[in-house]
Structure 1
Amino acid sequence: MKFKNQLQWIFCLFCFTTEICAQKQIALTFDDAPRPSTSLSSQQRTDGLLQALQSSGVEQVMFFVTTKHLNAETKPILNQYAEAGHLIGNHSDQHQWLQQTQLAVYQQDFLKTHEHIKSYKTFKPMFRFPYLDEGRDQLKSQGMMEFLKTHHYQNAYVTVDNYDWYLDKLYQDALKTKQNVNLLQLKKLYVEVLWQAIAFSDQIAMQYLGRSPKHILLLHDNDLAALFVDDLVDHLRAQGWEIISPLEAYHDPIAKQEPKTLFKGQGRVAALARDAGANPRDLVHVAEDEEQLAKMFKEYQVISEPSQAMPEWFKQEMQNQVGTWQASNAEFQSEAEPFSAYRIEWTWGLGQQSVNGRLFAIHNDQPTGNFWTFKQYWDPAQGQARLIQMGHGGRIGDGFIHPVNEQQLETIQTFSAPGVDAYSERHLNHMTDQGLVTTSFKLDAYGDWQPQRSYLWVKQTPAE
């Protein structure tokens, strides 16, 4: 066996330009774009994802748009995709199963999305079936295929299926329940699961098609992609793979090999393997198994026990905070809000294990009474930095602070008051050379964070 492997290695030195030893290629595609806000806002996710693609040298991917997600916040994201040179495809409006929907209704849903996206400069007439469901009825399936041809569309099949959406769900659920997430372990899990899914699909292709096609990876526009897609790209290249444009991938001969099976929910390679006699059970990878992914989520120790000790970043944050900060209110000053500025004073609590604050206004060069009082401390039971604030009328805000990155801190609090429905607010803090920039957000009717006000807070010297 060792001698045989050596011969194969030597053979590849002389045939690297042939089909057998050619560099394997794969294109990246993202479904359900642009998704609503989750732990990251839609805009944060988009900025992070596009930056990750750019920094890793991926020149072109394809975003398949689900237009029910479009609103005032997310619609401009389509322009960002186009301006970055990425392709825009059709993923329907309501994201329905073809097998469960009347054909005429399904086609009208398709056309609704087409009208929304056809004017973007990087639009391509390609349709990604939601759930990869091309129908389980021959007449309905064929009817939709003919409909696509009539509208000059191509079926945007995939060759590598996986449940990256389920990994993201596990991540979001952990955050919602205030669990500690080890992002390093999560990155390892994400990259490993997707890499194994790719290798598995390529192995099936080699076995049943006799070659490695230009692969098309199914991903979703989710937080994990924004966080780790560059790490995935690095890993693929380290394994000898080339990242190509979806346009190049969809010119592979497999694009003209229409599977006979009606079950295509695992992608084209698996469907063609079924046609070739493969046992369906042999075509299911762990990346398509929710139970196995949940097990791996635990095995990789993505969730860690809350830290009892106060972390250094929070100690430093409190140290920097102590003092008096002032922000001009000139942009928002009005008859109803006559204040020229706002001030926050932060002082150390007992034993320098917490900070106490008060927020008040400056009116006619005089300080007003307190609007809010604050207490910020490390909650060992939760393993998180906590912020509690109290205001007039029994108003209370309670929530947690965590670092978004090295420059930003995020605070999300729930506010309540007698006779008032509870509501949530979010704040992002970013230190600049000029001072501390804070931006407040509120949830809109779609559940997305919408920016409200931004202030530049400048730390005052004792003389001020």
Structure 2
Amino acid sequence: MRPLKSLHLIVACLLVAGLPAVAGASPSPAAAAEASGQPAPDRRIVMTVDDLPWVQLPAVPDAEVIDGHRRLVAAIGRAGVPATGFVNEGKLEHEGRVRPERLAMLRDWLDAGAELGNHGHGHLDLHEVGLAAYQADILRGERQLRPVLERAGREPPRWFRHPYLRAGRSAQDKADLQRFLAEHGYRIAPVTADNTDWIWATAYLRAGEAPAISRREARRLKAKLRRDYVEHMGRKLDYYERQSTALLGYALPQIWLIHANLLNADSYGELVAMMRKRGYRFVGLDEAMRDPAYQRADAYFGPVGPSWLHRWAIGEQRPPGFFAGEPRTPAWVMKLAEVESE
């Protein structure tokens, strides 16, 4: 970690001198359509949350996360919009044994109206472990999930999301994984509106834990992080709407990814309000995936995990300029999170 003096200087610069939240931001697609007099597009979005029951598990004691978990689940229930959470079953365990209180956290999600999908047991990277180990980890990731859903009167898990969004380095691996998932009743849940919420969430934790600043300064810094985070996520959403229009000619039903962390527990309501202000209505994965664009082949075989919009654009061999303009996480947030790159 950086010296705490560095964190104190960050706080001083932000809270005393101030920092503009947006510099030179272009109008959102919604504002541009309104200004031109054109009818607004049909904006739909799916809320998905990864790394259930909580990002930091199992590395921290349950007592450290239960309050944040309850706030997030309560916010999801209050929002009243469809949501799908993706479970890492390894997070349910301590020293190789499933903890009942962590299973109860999954039941809380069901009680809030969410659907649960499979995110693997150990959050493995397909590109590192290979297809056979990855498939075994998917099956290991449903040993608790299936009984939890059955006891709640729910259908078996239907959706799988790749950890790290890394989906295969060859067409053969992708086809083999698709076949395996179909045989076990799963469909892939892609992501179109990608973001770096994990960087903001790391900064949020550091702002709340640093002893070098006062509680009042910490509260002010966390409030600024929440405010700027929601604005940043709005700019990300605008960017991916523009990408969709440029690639497909219309506003695709977006699939949005966030994680089960403290920042989103404290910001979920504001995120939903921001999307509604932009004219989005919330739908489930089933409705979104009926859009024909989701039948396109994933032609990306690179090392990272980009948005499916970018995978399709790469498959069409769009020039580098097509991808320009994506909002970046501000330098002060990167520094506070101690992250060097996105």
Q: TM-score range by the shorter chain?
A: 0.7 to 0.9
Residue 166 (structure 1) shift? 1.2
Residue 130 (1) aligns with residue 153 (2): no
Q: For residues 265 and 6 of structure 1, do their structure 2 counterparts lie closer, same or farther at Cα, with a shift above 3 Å needed?
A: closer
What secondary structure sits across from 2:305 in the alignment? coil
Partner of 1:48: 71
Q: Distance in 2 between matches of 1:203 and 1:102?
A: 35
Residue 25 (1) aligns with residue 44 (2): yes
Q: Distance in 2 between matches of 1:167 and 1:237?
A: 22
Q: Of 164, 171, 187, which residue of structure 1 is paired with 2:226?
A: 187
Residue 123 (structure 1) shift? 4.5
Q: For residues 7 and 159 of structure 1, do their structure 2 counterparts lie closer, same or farther at Cα, with a shift above 3 Å needed?
A: closer
Residue 228 (1) aligns with residue 250 (2): no
In the TM superposition, what whole-angstrom CA distance separates every residue of 1:223-281 from its partner, at most 9, and x where no partner exists?
A: 01100010011111112111222332222222211222224711211111222232356
Gaps of 5+ in 1: 13-20, 303-464
What secondary structure sits across from 2:143 in the alignment? helix
Task: List aligned pairs for 1:61-460, cutoff 5 A.
Answer: 61-71=83-93, 72=99, 73-119=101-147, 120=149, 121=154, 123-178=156-211, 179=213, 180-181=217-218, 182=220, 183-263=222-302, 265-280=305-320, 282-283=322-323, 292-296=329-333
What secondary structure sits across from 1:272 in the alignment? helix
Q: Which has the larger radius of gyration?
A: 1
Question: Over aligned residue pairs, what C-alpha RMSD do you find?
Answer: 2.7
Q: Distance in 2 between matches of 1:207 and 1:286?
A: 14
Structure 1 length as normaliser, TM-score?
A: 0.57
Structure 2 length as normaliser, TM-score?
A: 0.75
Q: For residues 135 and 283 of structure 1, do their structure 2 counterparts lie closer, same or farther at Cα, with a shift above 3 Å needed?
A: same
Q: Which amino acid aligns with 1:84?
A: A
Partner of 2:12: none
Instruction: Return the structure number with greater strand share.
Output: 1
User: Which structure ranks higher in relative contact order (CA pairs < 8 Å, sequence separation ≥ 6)?
Assistant: 2
Q: For residues 48 and 138 of structure 1, do their structure 2 counterparts lie closer, same or farther at Cα, with a shift above 3 Å needed?
A: same
Q: For residues 252 and 107 of structure 1, do their structure 2 counterparts lie closer, same or farther at Cα, with a shift above 3 Å needed?
A: same
Q: Distance in 2 between matches of 1:231 and 1:163?
A: 17
Q: Does the CA-based 8 Å contact 1:38-1:172 persist in structure 2?
A: no
Residue 55 (structure 1) shift? 2.4
Q: Distance in 2 between matches of 1:198 and 1:215?
A: 9
Q: For residues 8 and 177 of structure 1, do their structure 2 counterparts lie closer, same or farther at Cα, with a shift above 3 Å needed?
A: closer
Q: Does the CA-based 8 Å contact 2:191-2:257 persist in structure 1?
A: yes
What secondary structure sits across from 2:274 in the alignment? helix
Residue 38 (structure 1) shift? 8.1
In the TM superposition, what whole-angstrom CA distance separates every residue of 1:130-170 from its partner, at most 9, and x where no partner exists?
A: 00000113332322122112222101101111110111112
What secondary structure sits across from 1:255 in the alignment? helix
Q: For residues 176 and 246 of structure 1, do their structure 2 counterparts lie closer, same or farther at Cα, with a shift above 3 Å needed?
A: same
Gaps of 5+ in 2: 1-31, 94-98, 338-342
Residue 6 (structure 1) shift? 8.5
Q: Distance in 1 between matches of 2:179 and 2:238?
A: 33
% of aligned pairs identical?
25
Figure out how many residues of one structure are paired with residues of the other and give that number. Answer: 284
Residue 122 (structure 1) shift? 5.4
Q: Distance in 2 between matches of 1:283 and 1:74?
A: 40
